[in-house]
Amino acid sequence: MNGAQSLIKTLANCGVDMCFANPGTSEMHFVAALDSVPEMRAVLCLFEGVVTGAADGYGRVAGKPAATLLHLGPGLANGLANLHNARRANTPIVNIVGDHATYHLQYDALLTSDIVGFARPVSAWICESKSAQTVAGDAARAVQAARSAPGGVATLILPADTAWNEAERPAQMLRDIGPAPVSSQAVDDIARLLGNGKKTTFLLRGSALHGAGLEAAGRVQAKTGARLLCDTFAPHSEVGAGRVPVERIPYFAEQIVDFLKGIEQIVLVGAKPPVSFFAYPGKPSWCAPQDCQFSHLAHPHEDAAGALAALADALNAPAQSSIRVPLQLGGLPKGPLNAMSAGQIIAELTPDDAIFAEEAATSGMPLLVTLSTARPHTHLPLTGGSIGQGLPLAVGAALAAPERKVICPHGDGGAAYTMQALWSMAREELDITVVIYANRSYAILNIELQRVGATGAGAKALSMLDLHNPEMNWVKIAEGLGVEASRATTCEEFASQYAAAMQQKGPRLIEVMI
């Protein structure tokens, strides 16, 4: 077996059986090796930002890493923005980057670049394999590193000769470095803290926002009456009717300050203290009240779900909370489409257990309000803030959970960055409904231009925020990339098209004119 075959087999041995790929010449042996390992699925993407965003979506939903396959430094570079997002979401990804053969690097051929340099800002772990015989071991360590709590991007750089030279054998999976348990002492300390009479909230992240972790948080809530909060862009949360209610921190600095007013202590469960997304002249970066006390029930690398369960036990909380989000749907609106009415329609018509890969930006604010009491669903937002993630994220989520409907509500400005993801949706026949909010604007920037106090903006400045000239036609773009598409200009049209999309399997795009 050659190094490439040892790689693919090792990945499969370690439970990595999904590879998002945009390979080139230096990765041809890895491509050729795909057929030797039947359990490895390879998904071709037309652009590397789709590769890495899909790996993020897959990792968040599957709870285990996918692999990427990228072509040299520039191929990695094209995937960096969504790796930044994945880093912020603590998504496990085995990020495989081909390189020139070891002996070819000295010639500085045109595609040579500093791959480690490109990888460093987004990677929790980096390794360059030096020979075909170490590839299997390096790959096993890469999977272990990606899976290490709280999860991260493990970049494995593979020179072409490590693929084509002879290897010995594939490696087996290494011991998993799961989240560290929180000591009973630390749990007891928090339990005591809750008796100090201060107005307390819990800020949840990671495993505290879904499954057993969220249920355990609900027990604490039921016993103590403490509010449960999550970050604006918490990477993976379970939301909607029947779920434990968690309040989402708003986006803008002054809203956060208002929202947190009066809170005396915040218990962090896998989260960090809330800060402003951007700085604004005269507005605070630190958004908690000045005298608010912070303590950690669980740091990000620790077992948040286990710590919450232990805390609930220590508090003698009930075995299950009866505080649940009620199902509240507002009915189908009529008449003009806007972000609010579109959000109501989505909330009304989306079936149980959907996954939202959401990058609706300004249109997302009313959408998230309506979704908060809609049918139970999973919410995956743009955690790292680098726009152009939603469509790829939907690709990965749909491949991780093929039996679930994936909804991708997306601003038109952001969707333009990685529109190539539509092609992979068609190619893999993924059950995704994309909703493009077509406001023909970087709408958030029109708000931010005012908020940062930038004066003197004239026609030239405002044109930098405006997408009217020319108007993108998302129906044609989608059809050009192989995805069935339609346009809705009224609530009635959108409701009818969206309802039809919910009944069908496969990719579909609806351009909502707001």
Does position 193 bind a second copy by CB under 8 A?
no
Among 353, 479, 492, 493, binds a second copy (CB under 8 A): 479
- Is 173 among the residues that bind a second copy (CB under 8 A)? no
State yes or no: residue 383 binds a second copy (CB under 8 A).
Answer: yes
Number of residues that bind a second copy (CB under 8 A): 104
Distance CA 452, CA 475 (A): 35
| Least gap, CB of 362 to a second copy (angstroms) | 12
Q: Binding to a second copy by residue 177, rule CB under 8 A?
A: no
Give least dist CB 375 to a second copy, A. Answer: 28
What tokens appear for 499 in the block? 């309802």
Q: How far is the CB of 21 from a second copy (least distance, A)?
A: 6
Q: With CA atoms as reference, report the closest residue to 67 among 102, 113, 110, 33.
A: 33
> Which 94-113 positions form the footprint of a second copy (CB under 8 A)?
100-101, 103-104, 107-111, 113
The answer to whether residue 365 forms part of the interface with a second copy (CB under 8 A) is: no
For residue 90, give the nearest of 267, 249, 231 by alpha carbon: 231
Closest CB to a second copy among residues 379, 404: 379
Residue among 289, 385, 440, 493 that touches a second copy (CB under 8 A): 385
Q: Which two tokens stand for residue 156?
A: 């494995």
Q: Which stretch binds a second copy (CB under 8 A): 142-150, 239-247, 352-360, 444-452?
A: 444-452
Pair type for strands 377-380 and 237-239: antiparallel
Beta-carbon contacts of 401 under 8 Å, excluding residues fewer than 6 positions away, are 61, 62, 355
Does residue 155 bind a second copy (CB under 8 A)?
no
Q: Binders of a second copy among 235-254, rule CB under 8 A?
A: none
With CB under 8 A as the contact rule, which of the stretches 159-167, 196-204, 240-248, 324-332 interacts with a second copy?
A: 159-167
Among 197, 326, 331, 458, binds a second copy (CB under 8 A): 458
Asked if residue 327 binds a second copy (CB under 8 A), the reply is no
x/- string (CB under 8 A) for a second copy, residues 257-296? ---------------x--xxxxx-x---xx----------
Q: Is 190 or 477 the residue whose CB approaches a second copy more closely? A: 477
Residue showing tokens 């480690």: 116
Stretch near a second copy under the rule CB under 8 A, chosen from 80-88, 185-193, 295-303, 494-502: 80-88
Q: Where are the beta strands (DSSP E) in 189-273?
A: 200-204, 227-230, 237-239, 247-248, 265-269
Residue 193 CB-density burial (10 A; 0-12 exposed, 13-18 middle, 19+ buried) = middle
Task: Kindly indicate which of the ranges 243-251, 313-321, 329-337, 459-467 contains the residues binding a second copy, using the contact rule CB under 8 A.
Answer: 459-467
Looking at residues 206 to 235 of the shown chain, list those that interact with a second copy (rule: CB under 8 A).
233
The stretch near a second copy (CB under 8 A) out of 55-63, 211-219, 324-332, 423-431 is: 423-431
Shorter beta-carbon distance to a second copy: residue 319 or 459: 459
Alpha carbon 237 to its chain's center: 11
For residues 430 and 405, give the distance between their C-alpha atoms in angstroms, rounded to a whole number.
9
Q: Which is nearer to a second copy, 198 or 476 (CB)?
A: 476
Answer yes or no whether residue 35 interacts with a second copy by CB under 8 A. yes
Q: Is the dihedral of CA 24, 27, 29, 31 positive or negative?
A: negative
Please choose, out of 118-126, 132-140, 262-270, 328-336, the segment that lies near a second copy by the rule CB under 8 A. 118-126
Judged by CB under 8 A, the residue of 172, 351, 453, 499 near a second copy is: 453
Strands ordered across the beta sheet of 432-438: 237-239, 377-380, 354-357, 406-411, 432-438, 508-513, 484-488
The answer to whether residue 172 forms part of the interface with a second copy (CB under 8 A) is: no
Does 17 bind a second copy (CB under 8 A)? Our answer is no
Question: Of the two residues 116 and 174, which places its CB atom closer to a second copy in the complex?
Answer: 116
Burial class (CB in 10 A: 0-12, 13-18, 19+), 259: middle
Q: Which segments of 172-212 are extended strands (E)? A: 200-204
Tokens of 324: 């649940």
* Residue 130 found at the interface with a second copy (CB under 8 A): no
With respect to a second copy, which residue has the nearer C-beta, 278 or 336? 278
Closer residue to a second copy (CB): 226 or 382:
382
Q: What is the H or E stretch that residue 488 is in? A: strand 484-488
Q: Does 114 bind a second copy (CB under 8 A)?
A: yes
Q: Which of 12, 174, 325, 465 binds a second copy (CB under 8 A)?
A: 465
Instruction: Write out the binding residues for a second copy, residues 37-76 only, by CB under 8 A.
Output: 42, 44, 46-47, 49, 73-75
Q: Residue 312: which residues within 8 A CB-CB, separation 6 or more?
A: 216, 219, 220, 223
* Residue partners of 193: CB distance under 8 A and separation at least 6: 200, 265, 267, 295
Q: What is the rounded CA–CA span in Å between residue 139 and residue 158?
A: 10
Number of H helices, E strands in the chain: 20, 18
Q: Using CA atoms, how far apart are residues 426 and 428, in angstroms rounded to an integer? A: 6
Residue 342 CB, nearest distance to a second copy (Å)?
21
